[in-house]
Amino acid sequence: MYYLRTALATLALPAGMACADCPVASDLPAGIVIFQSDGTTLFRDVFYGPAPGLIGYYAMEDDRVTYQELAARGLYVLTYTDFYDAPFVTASIDYPVGMDSLPNPVAGLQWAVDVHRVQGATRTAEHQDYAFGAVTPMQIGACTYASIPVQGTTTTADGATAKSVLQYLPELGISVVYALEIDGEMETIFHPDGIGLAADWPGSVQK
C-alpha cells in the first residue's frame, strides 16, 4: 500500500492558494489533497466524499495513480487496488456488520472485529483490533486539525501481525497513515508539506 512519502524538500503552495485556506469536510465532494515532494516527485493523497460515510482515496506520484481505496467512516477499508506494479491487485474486506454498526471514530474507543479479505478466488480470515487515543492537534502545512490516533493491529489465521498508526481527522472525516511497523519498529511515514483543494492541483484525480 502506498501513502505519503518522507519529504526531503519543501514544496511551495500553488499560486492562488492562501495559507489561511484550510479545507473542511464540506470540501470532500470536490476533493481534498495532502501533498509533499522529495524535490523530484510530487506525492499527493487525494480524498473524496462520494456519499455520507464513504471516503474515496487515491495515492498519486506526479500524474500517476499508484493506489486507490474506499473506506467506511473514513477509516475502515472496504476495497482497495494497488496500481504500483503489474499485475494490479484488487481486494475487498468483508465485515460481519453493516455501515450503521461500524463504530464512529471517537477518542477512547476500543473495537475488535473478525473480517475476511477477498482477493480473486482467495478468501482469508483476519482479526482486526482498533485502539483510539486522545484528541491532539495535528499540523498539516499552515493548517491545524484535531486528530485522534488509531493504533491498528491485523492478525491473520496463521498468527502473523501487521501494525499501523493512523490519524483520524474528525473535522475532515478522513484518516491518514501516520506510522507503519517496519522490521519490528514503528516508523513515522507521514511528513506532509501541506493541504489544499483538488481543484487547485491540476492533474489530481477528479470524480
* pLDDT at residue 206, rounded to an integer: 55
Report the chain's terminal Cα–Cα distance, integer Å: 21
Report field, pTM of the whole predicted structure over 0.75: yes
Bridge partners of 185, per DSSP, are: 182
Q: Which residue has cell 472496504?
A: 78
Under DSSP, is residue 16 helix (H, G, I), strand (E, B) or coil?
Answer: coil
Asked if omega into 103 is within 30° of 0 (cis), the reply is: no
For the segment 70-96, what is each residue's pLDDT rounded down to a tens digit? 999 999 999 999 998 878 899 999 999
Q: What percent of the chain has pLDDT over 90?
A: 71
Name the region of 183 (left: φ>0; alpha: ψ -120 to 50; beta: rest). Answer: left
pLDDT digits (tens, 9 = 90+) for 139-197: 999 999 999 999 999 999 999 999 999 999 999 999 999 999 887 888 888 889 999 99
pLDDT tens readout for residues 111-126? 999 999 999 999 999 9
